[in-house]
């Protein structure tokens, strides 16, 4: 499920850049079949992550573990039962996507990066909510995925510390998984307050790490070798 979701995110990143770089209004792609598949896979992943967190912090008795396993199995069966319809939807989306793919000028790619990094800078330099952080992570992952496929000369021109961005989105992801586990636990009857407090403490630790990593965002966007060199600036991007 994790690999499936990663591949869909990569396609989503491509579609995002195609839309952002195109001046043609007729670039709409029916991505709903793939997005529905992504969301259903996400429900299974969330259940699995929740179960792993319970094991990691020794938070569940045998009854709760059995209940969570049943949920994962049932959701997996439901997911697999719809595979024929999913395959048709993915094939149709692939056909539409191939028709819409076109060459993208380097200056347009730079423009999209500049706009997205400005938005990230704004989101991360203000007090951020759960929804805002989730949006930040989504934006970062799109930038990271596209960075992996663009030509090296253009990547060099961008001068991005892609490792920093990837670490930041990874920390946000861990934080999101933890607060999701807290929400799921609170829905349980007679939930253990000690368990919830322990997870909340972990979510706060991760939140502090995100705040620390977000400080001097513009400077940290530069490769480490350039961060203390006054002749190099990321200002052309943010």
Token pair belonging to 166: 């990837």
Predicted model pTM: 0.79
Cα 39 from Cα 33, distance rounded (Å):
10
Token pair belonging to 193: 């307050």
Token pair belonging to 131: 């929804």
Token pair belonging to 234: 């990321």
DSSP category for residue 213 = H
Provide the residue-wise pLDDT of the chain in tens; the chain has 238 residues.
Answer: 888 999 999 988 888 888 888 766 555 566 788 888 999 999 898 888 878 877 776 666 677 778 888 888 999 999 999 989 999 988 998 888 888 777 788 899 999 999 999 999 888 877 677 888 989 999 999 999 999 988 888 888 888 899 999 999 999 999 988 888 788 777 766 667 887 888 899 999 999 999 999 988 888 887 765 566 545 554 455 5
What own/partner pairs with CB < 8 Å and gap ≥ 24 does 50-59 have? Answer: 50/180, 50/181, 50/184, 53/177, 53/178, 53/181, 53/199, 54/181, 57/195, 57/198, 57/199, 57/202, 59/185, 59/192, 59/195, 59/198, 59/199
**Cα–Cα distances in angstroms (integers) from residue 56 to residues 150, 195, 199, in the given order:** 38, 12, 11
Cα 74 from Cα 76, distance rounded (Å):
5
| R_g (Cα) of the chain, nearest Å | 20
């Amino acid at each position: 499920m994790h690999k499936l979701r990663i591949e869909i995110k990569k396609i989503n990143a491509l579609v995002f850049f195609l839309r952002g770089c195109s001046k043609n209004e007729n670039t709409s792609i029916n991505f709903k079949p793939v997005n529905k598949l992504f969301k259903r896979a996400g429900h299974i992943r969330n259940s699995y992550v929740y179960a792993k967190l319970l094991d990691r912090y020794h938070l569940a008795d045998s009854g709760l573990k059995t209940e969570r396993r049943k949920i994962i199995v049932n959701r997996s069966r439901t997911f697999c039962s719809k595979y024929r319809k999913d395959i048709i939807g993915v094939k149709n989306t692939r056909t539409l996507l191939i028709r819409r793919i076109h060459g993208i000028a380097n200056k347009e790619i730079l423009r999209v990066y500049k706009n997205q990094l400005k938005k990230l800078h704004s989101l991360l330099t203000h007090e951020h909510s759960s929804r805002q952080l989730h949006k930040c992570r989504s934006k970062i992952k799109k930038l990271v995925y596209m960075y992996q496929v663009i030509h090296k000369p253009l990547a060099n021109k961008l001068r991005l510390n892609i490792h920093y961005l990837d670490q930041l989105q990874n920390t946000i992801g861990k934080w999101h998984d933890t607060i999701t586990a807290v929400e799921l636990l609170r829905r349980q009857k007679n939930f253990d307050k000690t368990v919830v407090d322990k997870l909340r403490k972990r979510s706060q630790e991760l939140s502090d790490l995100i705040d620390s990593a977000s400080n001097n965002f513009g400077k940290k966007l530069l490769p480490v070798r350039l961060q203390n060199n006054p002749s190099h600036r990321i200002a052309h991007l943010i």
